[in-house]
Structure 1
Amino acid sequence: MAFGRTALGSSSGSGGRATGAGGQRPLSDINVTPLVDVMLVLLVIFIITAPLLASSIRLDLPQTDAGKPNEEPRFVSLVVDAKGVVYLNDVPMDDAQLAARLKQAALENRDTEVQLRADTIVPYGKVVQLMGIANQAGLSRIGFVTEAPAR
């Protein structure tokens, strides 16, 4: 019996375990077919949805300066400290001065917001009085500034 050839391959080293039974090398190329399939599907989706994103009705809209979207909202800061002293934009004042300054702010811009900050020990009546002064001056937008509790 000769031991030179077997049914599966030769023993000469060219058909060993690393190359397989028929002497073929392992496949080391990347299969790009699935990648191309996915890219084509995405391309079709973008082609279909792109016209839907833009409005198909063409309009020549009129131009105006009436509503400027880039205007910053105006506000004044009204503060009442623990002693009951009233500050408008960090300037201390009495009720008559406050009413005059708030009327002036309302004449400049009716949408001016009053940001009211009051110490926790300020009586509720004082806060309501200040809200009334602001309302009589023509400023109806009043926001209460608070702090989140410490955890």
Structure 2
Amino acid sequence: MAFHPTPHAQQPLAEINMIPLIDVMLVLLIVFIVAAPLLTHAVKIDLPRATSAPVDLRPEVIQLGIRADGSLYWNGAATTEEALPERMREAARHVPQPEIHLYADARTPYETLARVMAMSARAGLGRIGFVSNPGKTP
């Protein structure tokens, strides 16, 4: 019997066998796919149903007109300076508070405007706006 050793048959294999690693990974994947739905703890609650419309929180606008002769107009209706504080106190009770838009003549004395603004401040109305007509730019 002739014994001739071959140099390639005796050397160790230098490659990693990937087949067992892939088999283990596929088995783990299947286990996690099956076990994942079991790990979720969901509590079923019958919640109440509600329907609602959005709340419009835009404040009411009160148009207060002041003429040059001192006559006052509350939303287009003539009023007196004596009745104005009570109307303002009543308007200040609304939620949200209304805005006052002052429409004053160009010749209205500042004293009249100052009295009306002081009345609104005493009544608790803090949002006052002056309305003017846009003029030509010089």
Scaled by the length of structure 1, the TM-score of the pair is: 0.51
Q: Tell me the equivalent position of 2:101.
A: 115
Q: In 2, are the aligned partners of 1:110 and 1:138 still within 8 Å (CA)?
A: no
Q: In 1, are the aligned partners of 2:91 and 2:97 still within 8 Å (CA)?
A: no
Question: What is the deviation of 1:140?
Answer: 0.6
The gaps in structure 2 that reach 5 residues or longer are 1-53
Residues 1:82 and 2:53 aligned together: no
Residues 147 and 85 of structure 1: CA distance in aligned 2, closer, same or farther (over 3 Å): same
| Higher RCO (C-alpha under 8 Å, 6+ residues apart) | 2
Q: In 2, are the aligned partners of 1:110 and 1:139 still within 8 Å (CA)?
A: no
Q: Tell me the equivalent position of 2:132.
A: 146
Question: What is the deviation of 1:76?
Answer: 0.5
CA distance in 2 between counterparts of 1:106 and 1:70 reads: 18
Report how many aligned residue pairs link the two structures. 84
Residues 103 and 97 of structure 1: CA distance in aligned 2, closer, same or farther (over 3 Å): same
1:21-60 → structure 2 map (5 Å cutoff) = none
CA distance in 1 between counterparts of 2:121 and 2:95 reads: 14
Residues 1:95 and 2:81 aligned together: yes
Q: What is the one-letter code of the residue matched to 2:81?
A: D
CA distance in 2 between counterparts of 1:122 and 1:145 reads: 13
Q: Tell me the equivalent position of 1:20.
A: none
Scaled by the length of structure 2, the TM-score of the pair is: 0.56
Question: What is the deviation of 1:101?
Answer: 0.7
Specify the structure having the higher radius of gyration (Cα). 2
Q: Which runs of 4+ in 1 moved over 6 A?
A: none
Between the aligned residues of both structures, percent identity stands at 30
Question: What is the deviation of 1:109?
Answer: 2.7
The gaps in structure 1 that reach 5 residues or longer are 1-67
